[in-house]
């Protein structure tokens, strides 16, 4: 019995968004809808959908490269039982995933481009600082978690250092919130940020006997220029890498459920469909309808999840390009009466927070 595009789309969604193995997805279609679809049939359907979505995937990568601000993260992945790395870039509008053989700058640059000059938010992995033209924010949540975990197992004396760092970072988050609530001015925010930096510098000037504290201090000395970017750019730069982390959580669940991909073609399909489906969710678009439309198309097509300002000219309407002439900076807490930044600071090309 031949199944239609709706059933195929359900199988793809169960595998790529819900993390079900192919056999489980086939069993649900059989038991729930009386549709007979083999495990290999779902595999072929996934490959067919991925081929048709490939043009959209490439367009999403181009959108990530041209974005003003990006969150980036990576995690281990298995392909043919060999270690690979699944990379994710998330912006305010799109998600792009790719599975690559390494965890170095060459792989990161193949996604964003070595000359990426926007705001880059990440977990502090040193590879990211090789984007010399980017302005960096190291994830505050990662450091808070590290400090909490250290304090839980340390002696009371050794716990003082991670607890002091944790307190400073929390004060930074509180300052950001007070500014966005219009309780302090931009000048007041920056003045208070300077005081926080002085306190942190004093902590880092000391020597620590505990090995864990020495490692944390060494890490913070490297991260020092990139810890409080979010306070100098309030409402523009996030303090955490949570956008990318949320995508990673789903992928980690999938990895636990079925371990990765058996073939290189499967890995490519994984990257393409994860990018397309997560972007659709980000934009509150119906992923099921999008897949059905894609499967019914006789040829590969560019889906309408690519932001109009990043479309090739042949794919955009005159209205799209008129709107794209005035880029809009999306913020985490839009408020028209709060001045975000002076022009010289908000320009992505400035090197105040870059690693150049």
pLDDT tens per residue across span 1-42: 567 889 889 888 998 888 888 889 889 988 888 888 888 888
Distance CA 121, CA 136 (A): 6
Q: What is the pLDDT of residue 341?
A: 42
Q: Is the pLDDT of residue 53 over 90?
A: yes
Q: Is there a single domain that holds both residue 218 and residue 269?
A: no
Quickly tell me which residue has 């081929």 as its tokens. Answer: 51
Distance CA 194, CA 9 (A): 53
Q: What is the pLDDT of residue 355?
A: 65
The residue among 198, 232, 266 that closes a domain is 232
Q: Is there a single domain that holds both residue 218 and residue 280?
A: no
Closest CA to 84 of 98, 73, 97, 99: 99
Start-to-end CA span in the chain (Å): 61
SS3 132: coil
Q: Is there a single domain that holds both residue 222 and residue 283?
A: no
Tell me how far the alpha carbon of residue 11 is from its chain's centroid. 26
The residue among 290, 306, 322 that closes a domain is 306
Q: What is the pLDDT of residue 99?
A: 96
> Per DSSP, which regions of the chain are E strands?
69-79, 82-90, 95-100, 119-122, 135-138
Task: Give domain status of residue 168, yes or no.
Answer: yes
Q: Is there a single domain that holds both residue 3 and residue 94?
A: yes
Q: Provide the token pair at 14.
A: 């169960």
Tell me how far the alpha carbon of residue 327 is from its chain's centroid. 21
Tell me the pTM.
Answer: 0.85
Q: Is there a single domain that holds both residue 221 and residue 279?
A: no
**Overall average pLDDT of the 88-107 stretch:** 96
Lowest-pLDDT range, 56-60, 65-69, 138-142, 340-344? 340-344
Lowest-pLDDT range, 268-272, 321-325, 342-346? 321-325
**Total structural domains within the chain:** 2
Task: Give domain status of residue 333, yes or no.
Answer: no
Task: Give domain status of residue 116, yes or no.
Answer: no
Task: Give domain status of residue 81, yes or no.
Answer: yes
Predicted confidence band at 319 (pLDDT cuts at 50, 70, 90)? very low
Task: Give domain status of residue 249, yes or no.
Answer: no
Task: Give domain status of residue 292, yes or no.
Answer: yes
Q: Is there a single domain that holds both residue 151 and residue 205?
A: yes
Task: Give domain status of residue 340, yes or no.
Answer: no
pLDDT in tens, 152-191: 999 999 999 999 999 999 999 999 999 999 999 999 999 9
SS3 136: strand
Q: Is there a single domain that holds both residue 227 and residue 270?
A: no
User: What are the angstrom distances between the C-alpha of 224 and each of 115, 124, 310, 352?
Assistant: 23, 11, 34, 13
Distance CA 293, CA 166 (A): 49
By CB atoms closer than 10 A (0-12, 13-18, 19+), residue 284 is exposed
Q: What is the pLDDT of residue 347?
A: 47
Q: Is there a single domain that holds both residue 86 and residue 148?
A: no
Q: Is there a single domain that holds both residue 262 and residue 218?
A: no
| Residue 27 CB contacts under 8 Å (≥ 6 apart), including other chains | none
Instruction: Provide the domain limits for residue 33.
Output: 1-101+254-306
Q: pLDDT exceeding 70 applies to what percent of the chain?
A: 87
Q: Is there a single domain that holds both residue 228 and residue 290?
A: no
DSSP assignments along 59-87, one per residue: HHHHHHHT-SEEEEEEEEEEETTEEEEEE
Task: Give domain status of residue 165, yes or no.
Answer: yes
For 242-270, b/e burial (b = at least 16 CB within 10 A) is ebbbebbebbbebbeebebbeeeebbbbb
Task: Tell me the helix, strand and coil percentages in the chain, rounded to 5.
Answer: 55, 10, 35
Distance CA 178, CA 173 (A): 9
Q: Is there a single domain that holds both residue 7 and residue 74?
A: yes
Q: Is there a single domain that holds both residue 92 and residue 4?
A: yes
Distance CA 34, CA 309 (A): 44
The residue among 176, 198, 232 that closes a domain is 232
């Amino acid at each position: 019995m031949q199944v239609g595009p709706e059933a195929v789309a359900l199988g793809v969604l169960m595998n790529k968004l819900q993390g079900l193995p192919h056999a489980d997805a086939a069993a649900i279609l059989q038991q729930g809808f009386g549709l007979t679809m083999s495990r290999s049939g779902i595999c072929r359907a996934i490959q067919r959908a991925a081929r048709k979505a490939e043009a959209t995937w490439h367009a999403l990568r181009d959108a990530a490269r041209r974005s003003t601000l990006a969150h980036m993260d990576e995690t281990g992945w298995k392909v043919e039982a060999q270690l690979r790395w699944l990379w994710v870039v998330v912006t305010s509008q799109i998600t792009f995933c790719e599975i690559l053989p390494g965890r170095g700058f060459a792989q990161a640059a193949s996604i964003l481009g070595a000359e990426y000059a926007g705001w880059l938010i990440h977990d502090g992995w040193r590879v990211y600082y090789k984007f010399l033209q980017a302005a960096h924010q190291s994830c505050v949540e990662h450091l808070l978690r590290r400090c909490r975990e250290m304090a839980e197992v340390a002696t009371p004396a050794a716990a003082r250092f991670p607890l002091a760092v944790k307190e400073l970072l929390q004060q930074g988050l509180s300052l950001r919130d007070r500014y966005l609530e219009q309780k302090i001015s931009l000048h007041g925010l920056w003045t208070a940020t300077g005081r926080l930096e002085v306190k942190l510098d004093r902590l880092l000037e000391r020597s620590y006997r505990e090995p864990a504290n020495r490692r944390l201090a060494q890490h913070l000395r490297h991260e020092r220029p990139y810890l409080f970017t979010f306070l100098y750019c309030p409402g523009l730069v996030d303090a955490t890498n949570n956008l990318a982390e949320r995508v990673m959580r789903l992928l980690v669940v999938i990895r636990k459920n079925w371990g990765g991909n058996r073939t290189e073609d499967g890995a490519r399909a994984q990257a393409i469909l994860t990018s397309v489906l997560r972007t659709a969710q980000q934009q509150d678009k119906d992923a099921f309808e999008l897949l059905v439309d894609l499967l019914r198309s006789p040829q590969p097509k560019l889906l309408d999840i690519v932001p109009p300002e990043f479309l090739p000219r042949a794919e955009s309407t005159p209205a799209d390009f008129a709107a794209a002439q005035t880029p809009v900076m999306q913020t985490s807490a839009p408020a028209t009466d709060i001045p975000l930044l002076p022009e010289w600071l908000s320009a992505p090309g400035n090197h105040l927070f870059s690693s150049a």
